[in-house]
């Protein structure tokens, strides 16, 4: 019998890990996991132990790791998983091919999704990877239960096929459909997923741009890495002219200095659009947008060209009142503890900082 719909947000990496781990321990039927970074360090080893234990008792365990993001997963750890009965697939393997040009283009396409599905009834989706360096981070992860998650099963099955998995092993997932009695639910919750292999406009980018264009009162954006394109900046400027309040939340220090330098190069430009920039005191790896305090999106996509055009990404859009109220509360908490951009101080930065920013902007379309 299907579980009733429910949801829960997690605002730290540790809280999300604990919740995921507990659900993996009690999985009875299946564990399907799509993840960008999965490393067998102190954080990852307990998940490896749990996945092996579940596979040994007959649970169908499939994990799709990105070949580049999870480069640090050791061969012994991978072997241990496989010998226990876990099916491990690597998305977009890095091995060079004879057709170098084709391989080089494909090399840039990564699976950046973070999606865990337990027993085809519980799903986690958002920004959380598994590596010890993220232990103290803030992040944003969403747990959903009930038949509402069935489109995510289909999404996982498609990625599984692209990673080289057998269609016969996921055929039942490809046929997964929402029950007739839940026809109204997609109006409240929609799963957004895109891949450059779909040959369609990137769905997450389309969602962001459309949401900003339609905003009437407020726009709140949380992203750890910020590399906006011209269309986004234009829409923010137009929104400000309509009287919309725009707040952008970034970590004061990210885990990647390179990405931080690129974001710094845009501080003046984003300020001129009329947006307020707030710096969070600790690393926040979450990705979210909220419009007019009524609709929200939580997922894996950063505000960068890579996430919007090159990577496979996924997330959840919602206009459920309770979920929106919670997300609104998160943004209020972040704002209360954040430091606004000091534009005058930023303008007085030295020539070395300006030179670094100029240099990194030359290759911003690849990050």
Res. 292: pLDDT tops 90: yes
**What integer pLDDT is reported at residue 194 of this predicted model?**
86
Asked if pLDDT for residue 104 goes beyond 80, the answer is: no
Q: What local confidence, expressed as pLDDT, does residue 109 receive?
A: 82
Q: CA 36, CA 64: separation in Å to the nearest integer?
A: 8
Instruction: Output the pLDDT for position 106.
Output: 59
pTM flag (> 0.85): yes
How many Å apart are CA 128 and CA 21, to the nearest integer? Answer: 13
CATH architecture of 203-366: 2-Layer Sandwich (3.30)
Lowest mean pLDDT among 160-169, 196-205, 332-341, 351-360: 351-360
pLDDT above 60 for 362: no
Mean pLDDT of all residues in the chain?
89
Question: Largest Cα–Cα distance in the chain?
Answer: 64
Give residue-wise pLDDT tens across range 15-25.
999 999 999 99
Q: Which of 29-38, 91-100, 192-201, 242-251 has the lowest mean pLDDT?
A: 91-100
Mean pLDDT of 193-200: 76
Better-predicted residue by pLDDT, 104 or 161:
161
Fold match between 6-184 and 203-366?
Answer: yes
Q: Where are the domains of the chain?
A: 6-184, 203-366
User: In CATH terms, is domain 6-184 a member of 3.90.1200.10?
Assistant: no
Distance in angstroms (rounded) separating the CA atoms of residues 122 and 3: 9
Compute how many other C-beta atoms are within 10 angstroms of the C-beta atom of residue 154.
17
pLDDT tens profile 34-81:
999 999 999 999 999 999 999 999 999 999 999 999 999 999 999 999
């Amino acid at each position: 019998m299907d579980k009733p719909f429910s949801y829960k947000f997690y605002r730290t990496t540790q809280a999300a890990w604990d919740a995921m781990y507990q659900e993996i321990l009690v999985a009875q039927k299946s564990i399907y996991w799509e993840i960008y970074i999965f490393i067998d360090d102190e954080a990852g080893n307990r998940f490896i132990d749990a996945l092996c234990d579940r596979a040994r008792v007959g649970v169908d365990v499939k994990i799709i790791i990105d070949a580049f993001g999870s480069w640090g997963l050791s061969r012994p750890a991978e072997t241990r998983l496989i010998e226990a009965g876990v099916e491990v697939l690597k998305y977009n393997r890095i091995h060079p091919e004879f057709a170098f040009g084709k391989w080089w283009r494909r090399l840039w396409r990564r699976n950046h999704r973070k999606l865990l599905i337990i027993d085809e009834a519980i799903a986690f989706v958002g920004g959380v990877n598994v590596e010890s360096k993220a232990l103290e981070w803030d992040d944003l992860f969403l747990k959903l239960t009930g038949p509402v998650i069935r489109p995510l099963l289909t999404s996982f099955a498609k990625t599984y096929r692209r990673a080289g998995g057998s269609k016969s092993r996921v055929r039942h997932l490809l046929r997964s459909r929402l029950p007739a009695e839940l026809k109204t639910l997609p109006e409240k919750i929609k799963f957004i997923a895109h891949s450059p292999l779909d040959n369609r406009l990137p769905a997450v980018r389309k969602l962001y741009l459309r949401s900003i264009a339609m905003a009437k009162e407020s726009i709140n954006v949380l992203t750890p890495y910020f590399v906006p394109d011209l269309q986004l900046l234009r829409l923010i400027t137009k929104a400000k002219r309509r009287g919309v309040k725009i707040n952008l939340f970034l970590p004061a220090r990210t885990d990647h200095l390179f990405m931080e330098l690129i974001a710094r190069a845009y501080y003046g430009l984003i300020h001129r659009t009329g947006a307020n920039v707030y710096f969070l005191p600790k690393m926040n790896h979450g990705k979210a947008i909220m419009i007019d305090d009524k609709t929200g999106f939580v997922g894996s996509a950063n505000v960068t060209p890579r996430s919007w055009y090159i990577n496979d990404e996924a997330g959840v859009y919602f206009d459920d009142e309770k979920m929106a109220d919670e997300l609104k509360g998160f943004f209020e908490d972040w704002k209360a503890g954040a430091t606004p951009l000091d534009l005058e101080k930023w303008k007085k930065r030295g020539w070395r900082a300006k030179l670094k920013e100029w240099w990194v902007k030359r290759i911003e379309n690849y990050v």
